[in-house]
């Protein structure tokens, strides 16, 4: 492709991290592949990560899909993992299908990836049967995320809930804190470590370091979303220094 590939993201209004980490990964990819990318977002209102706000926010995703398809983006990512998972087990399939139909109806068909679906699909691609996860959510929401993943056939052996309710505070976390936080998890006999089961909690800077330290494949919701976007675009899903999934080894 010679033209610039347009990446669309549906993001919570208080989300900062996906508009940092997705471009960072794809800019890194530009150093080893010829494709070039531009980035475009539409926002759904959400300030606190509560079931009530998540449900109200998800209702706004259709409008965002219309707006992004007006720009004829080449792929669209729904960048809120827990909003999808809070709507019921398997909901990522329903959401992705509905939003894709909107792009078709609007005359600019685009594949749609959700961060929830991307994480599940990436774990399956990696052959991960048992994982441990870190999430910034309160314990009930973290448990909900674990149960959603387990309903897809992947056992969550252990998880850490950092219990940060304010979404801007989640975005303000230092990703390098995860280099110590992950050590509190049970990593015995797991197939993968999800260092951030949340697209708002920064983790990209720590992914490769933690993987090199612990010897287990490490990914995040953002890494999985990037991988699935590249797959849906028909591009090689490879980005340097982002862990096993984007190393072309999956």
Which amino acids are annotated catalytic? Answer: 80, 198
For residue 156, how many other CB atoms are within 10 A of its CB?
Answer: 20
pTM of full prediction above 0.85? yes
Confidence of residue 67 (pLDDT cuts 50, 70, 90): very high
Residue 250, pLDDT score: 63
Confidence of residue 127 (pLDDT cuts 50, 70, 90): very high
* Cα dist from 111 to 32, 50, 96, 121, 242, whole Å: 24, 28, 8, 15, 23
28-37, 82-91, 192-201, 214-223: which range is least confident on average?
82-91
Confidence of residue 70 (pLDDT cuts 50, 70, 90): very high
Residue 13, pLDDT score: 84
Distance CA 205, CA 179 (A): 10
CA dihedral 192, 197, 202, 204 (to 10 degrees): 30
pLDDT for 157 beyond 50: yes
Confidence of residue 1 (pLDDT cuts 50, 70, 90): very low
207 phi/psi in degrees, rounded to 5: -55, -60
Confidence of residue 203 (pLDDT cuts 50, 70, 90): very high
Q: Where are the beta strands (DSSP E) in the chain?
A: 5-12, 37-44, 75-78, 112-114, 130-135, 155-161, 192-196, 218-220
């Amino acid at each position: 492709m010679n033209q610039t590939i347009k990446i669309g993201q549906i993001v919570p209004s208080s989300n900062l991290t996906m508009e940092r980490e997705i471009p960072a990964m794809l800019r890194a990819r530009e150093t080893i592949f010829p494709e070039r990318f531009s980035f475009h977002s539409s926002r759904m209102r959400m300030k606190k990560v509560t079931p009530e706000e998540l449900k109200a926010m998800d209702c706004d995703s259709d409008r965002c899909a219309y707006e992004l398809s007006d720009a004829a983006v080449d792929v669209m990512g729904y960048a809120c993992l827990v909003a999808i998972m809070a709507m019921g087990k398997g909901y990522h399939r329903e959401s992705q299908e509905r939003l894709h139909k909107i792009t078709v109806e609007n005359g600019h068909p685009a594949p749609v990836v959700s961060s929830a679906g991307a994480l599940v699909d990436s774990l399956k691609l990696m052959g991960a049967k048992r994982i441990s996860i870190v999430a910034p959510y309160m314990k009930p929401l973290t448990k909900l995320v674990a149960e959603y993943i387990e309903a897809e056939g992947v056992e969550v052996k252990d998880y850490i809930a950092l219990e940060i309710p304010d979404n801007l505070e989640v975005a303000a976390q230092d990703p390098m804190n995860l280099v110590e936080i992950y050590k509190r998890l049970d990593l015995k006999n797991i197939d993968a470590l999800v260092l951030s089961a949340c697209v708002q909690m920064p983790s990209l800077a720590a992914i490769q370091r933690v993987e090199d330290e612990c010897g287990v494949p490490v990914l995040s919701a953002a890494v999985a979303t990037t991988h699935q976007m590249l797959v849906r675009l028909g591009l090689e899903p490879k980005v340097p220094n982002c862990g096993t999934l984007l190393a072309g080894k999956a």
